[in-house]
Amino acid sequence: MIDNSCTGQKPAFDLAAQGVLHHGPLHWNLTAPFLYEHAIRRREGEIGFGGAFVVNTGRHTGRSPRDKYIVDEPGTHETVAWGSINQPITPAQFASLHQRVLAYLQGRELFIQDLYAGADPEYRLPVRVVTPSAWHSLFARNMFIRPPHAELNGFQPAFTILHAPEFHSIPELDGIRSETFIFVNFAERLVLIGGTRYAGEIKKCVFGYLNFVLPTRDVLPMHCSANVGSKGDSAIFFGLSGTGKTTLSADASRTLIGDDEHGWSPRGLFNFEGGCYAKVINLSPKAEPEIYATITRFGTVLENVVMNPRTRMPDVDDGSLTENTRACYPLDYIPNASDDGLAPHPQNVIMLTCDAFGVMPPIAQLNAEQAMYHFLSGYTARVAGTEVGLGSEPQATFSTCFGAPFMPRRPTEYAKMLGDRIAKYGAKCWLVNTGWSGGAYGTGQRMAIGHTRGLLRAVLDGRLANAPMRKDANFGFLVPESAADVPADVLDPRASWQNKKAYDETARGLTRDFEKNFGDYEPYVDEGIKRVAVRAA
């Protein structure tokens, strides 16, 4: 029999204020050892070699963007960019499901974490995560910033997540597409998550909340990683999944601010999170030693990573459950991580793309208008093996602001904020291709990570800014004519293709994709961005 009492620091502002009544045992702000014990008792997962907690999320091995909804009410009606990403529901729909989630939680053992989102005390958001799952509570504790013990007693959440992974909606009753739901209510500062065990939904709904509220406080929320050099020279790295954002920012010679979500305020950069959520499929102990070391550490949560049944060693090369295998660990598991999650205004803004068509150069310099254009575009390419249903040919994908599913406001609002900051603080901007060279996916080869790291070093130490440049005929940006340790034919993608005609045809096809995508934003941007937009040859 479990004692129905608090097993951690309980704040004065308890769950009754949020409608959670007649519950079972409550566990407040437990640390990792206690959460491990509960998770094992509840058979929620297994312990891997070295001590990581290994879980299987079942049917959902990634986010369900088509199951996310925002309540359409006076505060959001004119400010949210409604559409297929930001889908509206009525306050009545939210209230109905909210009451059923509360009823579902009655009598259940619950785990509560009171945490901060945002390293800068000026802008941080107190977040409460309530869940019947011990390992999801550990995930939340890893991902967000853990308040000092003395601050927990007076903790009052500005935003609460009621997480019910095993509870399913009734689509016919709730007026939604499936039994899975992520309901966001900005007015009530409340999120409901159900029908999915994938923990990334918890992380991303906090990010989405910050993306809505922070612009009103003159903070640009960004889906990016960030690091800083010994001289205070910080850099941000935008990029979608698979572009190398986490890997390239975890540079042993620089201090890691964070790997995924940051704010750019009048005071500088700050991390939103206290942890990392790294994709670990085919993780290399040689190329990515800092991240690889986390997969066998106590406290790390491994999602859908297959273990060797005899040794329980995680097999990061096994994608039989999903290609989207993940490791969630506290930021301080990375040896060179920042203690405070803060950095000065960035000197370099780097946008990463994985161009599987093999037509973009490994690096290009962007002016401010081009930076806003490519920020709005958010281009990368998907290839077979990364998503169900993809054929053998690459597919261009555009995710505006490098994070369309998490951006409630109109993309042009975020782009304008980025452009204003680039101009005000004099940041240099770069587009870096970590994709293919010498041909498209299936013919060419993946860009060598050593070449990419070498180019980034030249960017960050200032050498590349003064290199001779040529204008790219297809995309209009400037490309270095030479760079240390990178062959000339790699810098010039056309020269790396044996079949020049095939290169020209492929490049024209990609420029058509860019032009078509930009049509959604062109009416809302100024003439400067229109002038630098990629046009089909």
Catalytic member of 23, 141, 245, 428: 245
Catalytic member of 10, 98, 223, 416: 223
Q: Is 513 a catalytic residue?
A: no
Q: Is 416 a catalytic residue?
A: no
Catalytic member of 10, 60, 63, 409: 63
Minimal CA–CA distance to 238: which of 420, 401, 423, 410?
401
d(CA 492, CA 433): 12
d(CA 376, CA 311): 46
Which segments of 106-167 does DSSP mark as H helices, in order? 134-143, 149-152
Two structure tokens written together for 523: 């009416």
d(CA 184, CA 159): 10
Catalytic member of 79, 96, 241, 296: 241
Catalytic member of 120, 174, 259, 260: 260
For residue 30, what is the DSSP state?
Answer: -
C-beta of residue 139 within 8 angstroms of C-beta of residue 301: yes
SS3 28: strand
* Residue recorded with tokens 């958010």: 378
Q: Is 310 a catalytic residue?
A: no
Minimal CA–CA distance to 160: which of 179, 186, 134?
186
Q: Is 79 a catalytic residue?
A: no
Minimal CA–CA distance to 432: which of 471, 467, 480?
480
Minimal CA–CA distance to 200: which of 410, 55, 380?
55
Q: Is 63 a catalytic residue?
A: yes
Which residues, in sequence order, are bridge partners of residue 145? Answer: 116
Residue type, 136: H
Minimal CA–CA distance to 149: which of 119, 114, 124, 122?
114
Q: Is 453 a catalytic residue?
A: no
* Residue recorded with tokens 């400010």: 79
Would you list the DSSP string of 294-351? GGGSTT-EEES--B-TTT--B-TT--SS-S--EEEEEGGGSTTB-SS-EE---SEEEE
Q: Is 131 a catalytic residue?
A: no
C-beta of residue 271 within 8 angstroms of C-beta of residue 225: no
Q: Is 452 a catalytic residue?
A: no
Catalytic member of 98, 128, 326, 421: 326
d(CA 14, CA 488): 63
SS3 187: coil
Residue type, 364: A
* Residue recorded with tokens 């011990």: 134
Catalytic member of 133, 160, 246, 496: 246
Minimal CA–CA distance to 357: which of 442, 274, 284, 286?
442
Minimal CA–CA distance to 78: which of 415, 409, 525?
409
Catalytic member of 60, 204, 262, 374: 204
d(CA 408, CA 77): 11
C-beta of residue 443 within 8 angstroms of C-beta of residue 356: no
| Active site (catalytic) residues | 63, 204, 223, 241, 245-246, 260, 326
